[in-house]
């Protein structure tokens, strides 16, 4: 009885709490990192006043957001206005239920349709943004919501196809098994699927509405995008979800293409001293690298025009990923199933 309780209730609960705390910390760290990194790219100092080099800035921001007045526009559609931030935050956290941070005890669940689960859950995010933009009953958020929705749908397709070519190689849908496959084969998957890897990450940037694909919140055109009318805690939800989605995309890129928790060259014996670094640390290092890449891209590239964005998504990424899928399937068919 006690054992069952431990296995099915206590341990999952502990893991969930740890992951949620980690994510909240990550959001705070990311807001700070974003301001600092972008500031240094632009030869500024960024936040310097709160704490040593502004390190307590995220705490101050959180306190500010918590105590800010929660304004609901009179003409807003109340139930949907309240539902949207909830709907955007829940899937953001839920994705991490299946992401393996490390071998056996370091993930919450290993379900056999893992990657499908992730795709399904992240499609809620689109819904929430669309609803959030609509519910405020105001024109800029609405246009931001529509843009965001069109963009996310367009980039979800090549993203899904990039994942499909990974699945074809790894022959499994469970995220844990995909990493284990990479361990067995000795190759990180990005070496076998370079096209899918690059396109997946670019689509990931587009899916999270980050620069250079941040048209949904283009300040110069749309004030603040779909969350213009939100304030206080409800705005914080949207904000948090965006950063958590960034962490999720980075983590997924690592799991699918960079061998998850594996060290570099997992089967090369003379590199085994690298095993002294725990797997979770490897995972986090790789994830942080991609998060840094997000900021780097933001600091470096100008924003796309909307028609360019659509053209890139539909006329380049979709055909390329489709061709990649077909070629992958063909090669596998030719070499392995003959």
Q: For binding to another protein (CB under 8 A), which residues are involved? A: 77, 79-80, 83, 111-113, 116-117, 119-121, 123-124, 126-127, 130-131, 134, 137, 142, 146, 149, 153, 156, 173
CA geometry: angle at 208 spanning 169 and 75, to 5°? 140
Shortest Å distance, C-beta 137 to another protein: 8
Q: Which is nearer to another protein, 62 or 172 (CB)?
A: 172
Q: Which is nearer to another protein, 119 or 281 (CB)?
A: 119
273 CB-contact burial (10 Å; exposed 0-12 / middle 13-18 / buried 19+): exposed
The first and second tokens of residue 155, run together, are 């980039």
Q: Which is nearer to another protein, 131 or 199 (CB)?
A: 131
The first and second tokens of residue 319, run together, are 């055909």
Q: Which is nearer to another protein, 152 or 312 (CB)?
A: 152
The first and second tokens of residue 62, run together, are 């959180």
Q: Do 226 and 125 contact (CB within 8 A), yes or no?
A: no
* C-alpha torsion 296→214→305→253, nearest 10: 60
Shortest Å distance, C-beta 176 to another protein: 13
Q: Do 260 and 254 contact (CB within 8 A), yes or no?
A: yes
Shortest Å distance, C-beta 191 to another protein: 26
Alpha-carbon distance 223 to 147, whole Å? 14
Shortest Å distance, C-beta 232 to another protein: 23
Q: Which is nearer to another protein, 28 or 143 (CB)?
A: 143
Shortest Å distance, C-beta 296 to another protein: 30
């Amino acid at each position: 009885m006690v054992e069952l309780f431990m296995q099915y209730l206590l341990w999952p609960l502990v893991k969930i709490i740890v992951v949620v705390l980690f994510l909240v910390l990550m959001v705070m760290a990311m807001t700070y990192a974003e301001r600092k990194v972008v500031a240094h790219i632009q030869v500024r100092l960024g936040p310097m006043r709160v704490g040593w080099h502004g390190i307590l800035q995220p705490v101050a921001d959180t306190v500010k957001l918590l105590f800010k007045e929660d304004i609901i526009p009179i003409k807003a559609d109340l139930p949907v206005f309240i539902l949207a931030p909830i709907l955007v935050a829940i899937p953001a956290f839920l994705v991490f239920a299946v992401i393996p941070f490390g071998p056996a005890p370091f993930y919450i669940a290993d379900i056999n349709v893992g990657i499908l689960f992730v795709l399904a859950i992240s499609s809620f995010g689109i819904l929430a943004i669309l609803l959030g933009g609509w519910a405020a009953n105001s024109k800029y958020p609405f246009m931001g919501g529509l843009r965001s929705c069109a963009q996310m749908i367009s980039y979800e397709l090549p993203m899904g196809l990039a994942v499909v070519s990974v699945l074809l190689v790894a022959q499994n849908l469970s995220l844990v098994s995909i990493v284990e496959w990479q361990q067995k084969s000795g190759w990180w998957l990005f070496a076998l699927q370079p096209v899918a890897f690059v396109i997946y990450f670019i689509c990931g940037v587009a899916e999270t509405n980050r620069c250079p694909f941040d048209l949904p919140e283009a300040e110069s055109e749309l004030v603040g995008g779909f969350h213009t009318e939100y304030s206080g805690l409800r705005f914080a939800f949207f904000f948090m979800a965006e950063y958590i989605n960034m962490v999720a995309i980075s983590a997924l890129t690592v799991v699918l293409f960079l061998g998850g928790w594996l060290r570099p060259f997992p089967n090369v014996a003379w590199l085994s001293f690298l095993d002294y670094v725990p797997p979770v640390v490897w995972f986090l290092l790789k994830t942080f690298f991609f998060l840094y890449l997000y900021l780097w891209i933001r600091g470096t590239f100008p924003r796309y025009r909307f028609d360019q964005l659509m053209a890139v998504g539909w006329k380049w990424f979709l055909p390329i990923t489709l061709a990649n899928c077909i070629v992958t399937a063909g090669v596998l068919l030719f070499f392995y199933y003959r």
